[in-house]
C-alpha cells in the first residue's frame, strides 16, 4: 500500500480560527443510531465510506507505516461501530472520529515496539473478538513518482521524530487541514495549547526538513 497522497505542507495558508460549522454528519449518524441491527452495512457502511480515507491518512502519519495504519484504522472503525449509539452530538462527529483515530494510532505505535518481540504466529485477534474487517483494497492510494516518494519518506521520517502529542497535532493541522478550533475540539485542549504545540512542532520539522526541501526544490 502506498502512503497518503499529500506530503506535509509546512506553510499552509489556512485560517487559524475558522468558525465551527454545523455537523454535516448529523443525519447519517442518527440513521446509524436508529438502525443498530444493520451491523456493518446500511448507514454504517455509508459512514465508513465517508471517513475511511481520512482515518487511514491520520493513522498512517502517526504510526509511520501501512501495516500499523491499517490495524489502527480497523480499531478506529471497530470502536465507532461499538460506541456510535452513545454519541450525543456534544461535539461534531468528525472530531470524535479523529480523536479515536489519533488515540488508536498512538496506542498501537507504542504496542508495536513490544509486539516485534512476540511470535509472528500469535493471533492478533482474541478468540471470539469482533473486528471491523478492512482490506488494503478498500483504501485507494495513488502511485507516486520516485522523487515524490523520496520526499514522502523524508516527511514521514521527520514526523516520526516528534513526540506523540506533537505528531498528532501536526497531522490534524497540516495533513487534514483542521482549523485551530477544530483541533482544540478534537483533542479536547485549549486554543493556547494548540498554538504552542504547533509552534514547537513547526520549529522541529523546519530543522529536520530544511536540507531535504532545499535539495528537492532547488537541487
Mean pLDDT, residues 23-50: 89
Q: Which of 188, 186, 3 is nearest to 97 (CA)?
A: 186
How many CA atoms lie within 13 Å of 153's alpha carbon, on the beta-carbon side? Answer: 8
Say what percent of the chain tops pLDDT 90. 54
Our count of domains for the chain comes to: 2
| Structure confidence by residue, pLDDT tens digits, 56-89 | 999 999 999 999 999 999 999 999 999 999 999 9
Give the length of the chain. Answer: 219
Q: Which CATH number does the domain housing residue 77 bear?
A: 1.10.1740.10
- Range with the lowest mean pLDDT among 3-7, 48-52, 59-63? 3-7
Do residues 71 and 105 lie in contact, with contact meaning Cβ atoms separated by under 8 Å?
A: no
The pLDDT, as a whole number, for residue 209 is 84
Q: Which of 152, 154, 1, 143 is nearest to 68 (CA)?
A: 1
Do 147 and 200 lie in one domain? The reply is: yes
Q: Does some domain include residue 150? A: yes
Q: Tell the residue number behind the cell numbers 495533513, with chain if given.
A: 175
Q: Which of 122, 118, 124, 117 is nearest to 67 (CA)?
A: 124
Q: Does some domain include residue 2? A: no
Model pTM score = 0.74
Mean pLDDT, residues 108-131: 55
Distances (CA, A) of 92 to 57, 95, 103, 183: 19, 5, 17, 11
Q: Tell the residue number behind the cell numbers 506535509, with chain if given.
A: 8
Q: Domain range holding 104?
A: 22-113
Do 147 and 98 lie in one domain? The reply is: no
- CA-CA distance, 168 to 104, in Å (whole number)? 11
C-alpha cell at 83: 460506541
Name every residue whose Cβ is closer than 8 Å to that of residue 161 and which is 6 or more positions away in sequence.
204, 208
- CA-CA distance, 174 to 201, in Å (whole number)? 11
| Structure confidence by residue, pLDDT tens digits, 164-219 | 999 999 999 988 999 999 999 999 999 999 999 999 999 998 888 877 666 655 55
Q: Which CATH number does the domain housing residue 198 bear?
A: 1.10.10.10
Q: Give me the DSSP letters along 132-195.
A: ----GGGS--PPPPHHHHHHHHHHHHHHHTS-HHHHHHHIIIIIS---HHHHHHHHT--HHHHH
Q: Does some domain include residue 14? A: no
Mutual orientation of helices 93-115 and 180-187 as an angle, nearest 10°?
Answer: 60
Q: Does some domain include residue 108? A: yes
C-alpha cell at 14: 489556512
Amino acid at each position: 500500500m502506498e502512503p497518503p497522497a499529500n506530503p506535509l505542507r509546512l506553510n499552509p495558508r489556512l485560517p487559524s480560527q475558522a468558525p465551527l460549522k454545523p455537523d454535516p454528519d448529523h443525519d447519517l449518524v442518527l440513521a446509524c443510531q436508529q438502525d443498530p441491527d444493520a451491523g456493518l452495512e446500511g448507514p454504517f457502511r455509508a459512514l465508513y465510506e465517508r471517513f475511511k480515507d481520512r482515518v487511514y491518512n491520520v493513522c498512517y502519519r502517526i504510526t509511520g507505516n501501512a501495516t500499523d495504519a491499517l490495524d489502527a484504522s480497523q480499531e478506529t472503525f471497530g470502536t465507532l461501530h461499538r460506541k456510535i449509539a452513545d454519541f450525543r452530538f456534544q461535539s461534531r462527529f468528525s472530531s470524535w472520529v479523529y480523536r479515536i483515530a489519533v488515540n488508536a494510532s498512538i496506542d498501537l505505535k507504542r504496542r508495536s515496539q513490544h509486539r516485534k518481540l512476540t511470535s509472528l504466529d500469535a493471533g492478533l485477534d482474541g478468540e471470539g473478538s469482533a473486528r471491523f474487517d478492512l482490506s488494503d483494497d478498500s483504501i485507494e492510494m495513488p502511485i507516486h513518482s520516485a522523487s515524490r516518494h523520496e520526499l514522502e519518506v523524508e516527511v514521514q521520517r521527520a514526523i516520526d521524530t516528534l513526540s506523540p502529542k506533537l505528531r498528532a497535532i501536526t497531522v490534524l493541522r497540516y495533513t487534514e487541514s483542521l482549523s485551530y478550533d477544530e483541533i482544540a475540539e478534537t483533542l479536547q485542549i485549549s486554543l493556547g495549547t494548540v498554538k504552542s504545540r504547533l509552534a514547537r512542532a513547526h520549529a522541529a520539522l523546519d530543522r529536520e526538513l530544511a536540507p531535504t526541501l532545499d535539495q528537492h526544490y532547488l537541487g
